[in-house]
Amino acid sequence: MNATELRASLGLAGIYALRMLGMFLILPVFAIYAKTLQGADNHTLIGIALGSYGLTQAILQLPLGMLSDRIGRKKVIYGGLLLFAIGSFVAAGAHDIATLTIGRVIQGAGAISAAITALLADLTREENRTKAMAMIGMSIGTTFAASLVLGPLLAKYIGVNGIFALTGFLSLAALIGVWLVIPDPAQSRFHSDTEANAKRLPAVMKDGQLLRLNYGIFALHAAQMAMFVTVPFALIKTAHLDKSQHWQVYLPVTVIGFILMVPAIIYGEKKARLKPVFIGAIALMTAAQLGMALALDSFWQIVGWLSLYFIAFNILEATLPSLISKIAPADAKGTAIGVYNTSQSFGLFLGAAAGGWLYSHYGPAGVFGFTTLLMLSWLIWSLGMQPPKAVRSVMLHIGESWQGDAEALSRELAGVAGVHEAAVVLADRVAYLKVSQQQWDEAEVRRLIDATF
């Protein structure tokens, strides 16, 4: 990476982390706090308030990404961060569940994920874009783990309304960071690897392999939100832990999850055994949900099942994007990721709302019975998935003045040893390839690409 690319990648990863920190910090303490507000005697309303963020995210994520193509990336990002800050301050001042829900809805309207990845694509060369996206992915995972520990601690000292206010200031800090730190792109254009293309949506939506993954991320995050509507109350009831002490549970189980995730991912990727690892993680997640449905009356059982949950969760969070990249058509990766992210956001909303309703009517057993069925249905559907090919994505720039036959060049590239798929998109000036992880004729591919300059 050159200096500009490194600055853009680190800066946008940091800004993404600041924004995600604002969302994740409240997760472990939200339900307990919301219960103290006026009108929150109904647990269903607590679930809706928690999940309403995901609903507006799901509705606006793709449209705002497309809008950034027309009016500029930074304008959409500025607007989104400002909306997130406003929503945070509304939630911070809420004295009733309705106002808290309005604040969460406004927070979710700042759906800038697609605009951030598009700006990152504008500021990085094709050959470095995967590294840049990996930085953002690492920032999200690290922020989530840190938030489970920091959220309860901050709630002790500044209260949950203070956390909301803090997230508002963090969002404003991120806005200033975009202005002062992130370079302005010399040129903004559509990138098939990071942005959704409306013309490619039908093909992506009909792809059975991608549908399995989209359902998976929906189910995974629906179960996560339902869990955080329930587990905090179980920790108080069973272990008599104040919410400020819940980090003592979350810290060890998240650390265990991260440590045990690494060998599983390495084994799956290096040995081309990603499907067995993936299926095994879903089975482990199903067992964890069933365990919590049957045994939430013992503190140590809660810790044990949470440990299994976070092992499975971390493996699935890491493998799902990898599977999307391997399975999605080479020239529609951005569209596939956009649908995937939208499915995740819908899962956040429906999981929290359903979890709240089930807790009100059937207690914790009802919530985890529901999440067990979600995981079991995902497990059964995933058994029929095709083992993903041991491939990785490569993007190579096409000469700006070249006006040759894109389809003919795609066929030539696809015929090179070790190249599984190739798509040349002149509008992007990019050749999108899927190549063998073991060996491919890079010299021949570069010879064909060099002929376009």
Q: Give yes or no for residue 55 having a pLDDT over 80.
A: yes
Full-model pTM: 0.91
Q: How many CB atoms lie within 10 A of CB 131?
A: 13
Cα-Cα end-to-end distance for the chain = 22
Between 194 and 440, the more confident residue is: 440
pLDDT at 394: 86
Asked if the model's pLDDT at residue 439 lies above 90, the reply is no
Per-residue confidence at 87, pLDDT binned at 50, 70, 90?
A: very high
Whether 191 shows a pLDDT value over 80: the answer reads no
3-class SS shares of the chain: helix, strand, coil, % to 5:
75, 5, 20
**In a 10 Å sphere around its CB, with 0-12 CB exposed, 13-18 middle and 19+ buried, how is residue 172 labelled?**
middle
Mean pLDDT of 110-119: 88
Query: Which of 1-5, 10-14, 305-309 is most confident?
Result: 305-309
Residues 176-190, mean pLDDT to the nearest whole number: 85
| 8 A C-beta contact, residue 197 and residue 334 | yes
- Look at residue 217 in the predicted model and tell me its pLDDT: 95
